[in-house]
Amino acid sequence: LSNAAVAFALNISVYLLIGKTSALTMNVAGVLKDWMLIFISGVIFDAPISNIQLCGYLLAFLAVCYYNYSKYKERRGPHLVVFSAHLQFGNHI
């Protein structure tokens, strides 16, 4: 019963996180979680981690960050253009 309660609480927290931010934030959090799990397993269980694995996770993290940045820029772009034009030309737009 306690496992079910924890799973339910996790699902509610994911729902709230995605509702307040975006699915991309959840994706970045998932990549960070994977990095922490790999680090902890390497320290506690002395699991071997190759340089290729580290490069792969770094590449995945950078790709998610780039995608997140491009979506952020895409979402904010038109508003910034209108705002800067308004500053340049005043109320004549």
Going from the C-alpha of 42 to that of each of 17, 47, 58, the distances in angstroms are 29, 4, 16
From residue 88, alpha-carbon distances to 74, 75, 76, 78, 85 in Å are 22, 22, 18, 15, 5
Taking residues 10-19, what's their average pLDDT?
89
Q: How confident is the model at residue 20 (pLDDT cuts 50, 70, 90)?
A: confident
The pLDDT, as a whole number, for residue 21 is: 83
pLDDT in tens, 27-85: 778 878 888 888 899 899 998 989 998 899 889 888 878 887 888 788 776 655 555 55
For the chain, list the strands marked E by DSSP.
Answer: none
The reported pLDDT for the residue numbered 25 is 79
